[in-house]
Chains A and B, each alone.
Chain A
Amino acid sequence: MSMLHIVNKSPFERVAFDSCLAHASAGDAILMIEDAVVGAVDGSSFAGKVKAAMADKSVYVLGADLAARGLEGKAMEGVTIVDYAGFVDLTANNDSTQSWL
């Protein structure tokens, strides 16, 4: 059983992303969408937490949201960039989804 965690809040404004990381289990997937994509940027003060999560979870970011915010090409290594079709695949390939609103 694996879960897709969808997070849409900037970790610099809300605690949702931190909470998501604290409650995701090994083997789960984490997808950053909307304002949460800023968490994918390499070199930020939050990047270490995302890198730590990658040890036993897969981490994805919605490319369209990165591009919209002028952050294309700034995602850290190891984060997989997906489009909306890839977002759908993530929901289908994991057993359940949880949105960290």
Chain B
Amino acid sequence: MSTKNFLFVNRKAPYGTIYALESLEVVLISAAFEQNVSLAFIDDGVYQITKGQNSKGIGMKNFSPTYRALGDYDITKLYVSSESLAERGLTVDDLMELTYEDADDDYAEKPSIILANREEMAAMMAEQEVILSF
């Protein structure tokens, strides 16, 4: 099967609706198809990867630890909108530390999060072939 550039665009906050959780399920499945996968976190999508999520009080499963596993599935490009963070009073320090081990660099641990401004995000999007948004 051919390899395509897949982009998953996440623009919605977790828990309020199921989109973030079910989007993550597709992302994990896509890893099995060995595609060139990127994720974008824009607008309220940045809340999906904040650290310290505690969903006990709402009776729902905290699925944020799953984002930490993405590196193990070779999903290593998580573009986060710098404007969206700033608009929400957040910085990259408010996000989980998401990393992967680079097989081409003696398995050195590297950050998966790539801060991107609008121009950089647009340039990345222009490279994509299959864009999934939920």
Contacts and interface: CB of A to CB of B under 8 A. Distances in A.
Interface string B1-14: 00000000101000
Contacts, number: 42
27 contacts: A1-B126, A1-B127, A3-B125, A3-B126, A16-B11, A16-B43, A19-B11, A22-B122, A23-B42, A23-B118, A25-B122, A25-B123, A25-B125, A96-B128, A96-B129, A96-B130, A96-B131, A98-B9, A98-B125, A98-B128, A98-B131, A99-B131, A99-B133, A100-B11, A100-B133, A101-B11, A101-B134
B65 to A, nearest CB: 25
A23 B133 contact: no
B121 interface: yes
A38 B129 CA distance: 29
Interface residues of B, number: 18
Interface string B45-87: 0000000000000000000000000000000000000010000
Contact of A101 (B121, B128, B133): B133
Interface in A45-101: 95-101
Contacts of B133: 98-101
Nearest to A99: B133
B134 A97 contact: no
A1 B122 CA distance: 13
Interface size range of chain A in the complex: 10 to 19
A74 B45 CA distance: 34
A16 B133 CA distance: 12
Contacts of B129: 95-96
Nearest to A95: B129
Given A16-B43, A98-B133, 6 more contacts: A1-B126, A19-B43, A96-B130, A98-B125, A98-B128, A101-B133
A27 to B, nearest CB: 9
Nearest to A27: B126
Contacts of A98: 9, 125, 128, 131, 133
